[in-house]
């Protein structure tokens, strides 16, 4: 996903889609399911092996603009 994004492309990323999130800032990569998708925010769910439970994260267009995160559609 481009770092100059103003909103998420809801034609490509929809609720139920699998996405890979790469966080350059904190140095991790996770595969997630999109729970809710709006033009300004993605609500993501993923399984945290260390904690042994589902975790949830909100990703905003501001996160993408700052180049902290990259989102790749896996579908």
pLDDT digit string, tens, across residues 2-45: 445 689 999 999 999 999 999 988 888 999 999 999 999 999 99
- Is residue 36 within a helix (H) or strand (E), and if so which, with residue range? strand 28-37
Cross-strand partners of 30? 21
* Cα–Cα distance measured from residue 54 to residue 46, given in angstroms and rounded to the nearest whole number: 6
* Cα–Cα distance measured from residue 17 to residue 26, given in angstroms and rounded to the nearest whole number: 24
Q: Which domain holds residue 66?
A: 18-73
By the 10 Å C-beta count (0-12 exposed, 13-18 middle, 19+ buried), 56 is classed as exposed
Residues 55-72 have a mean pLDDT of 89
CATH code for position 24: 2.30.30.100
Tell me if residue 61 falls in helix, strand or coil. helix
Number of domains in the chain: 1
């Amino acid at each position: 996903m481009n770092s100059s994004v103003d909103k998420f492309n809801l034609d490509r990323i929809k609720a139920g889609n699998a996405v890979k999130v790469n966080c350059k800032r904190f140095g991790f990569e996770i595969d997630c399911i999109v729970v809710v998708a709006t033009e300004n925010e993605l609500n993501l769910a993923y399984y945290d092996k260390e904690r042994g439970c589902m975790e949830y994260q909100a990703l905003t267009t501001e996160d993408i603009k700052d180049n902290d995160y990259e989102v790749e559609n896996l579908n």
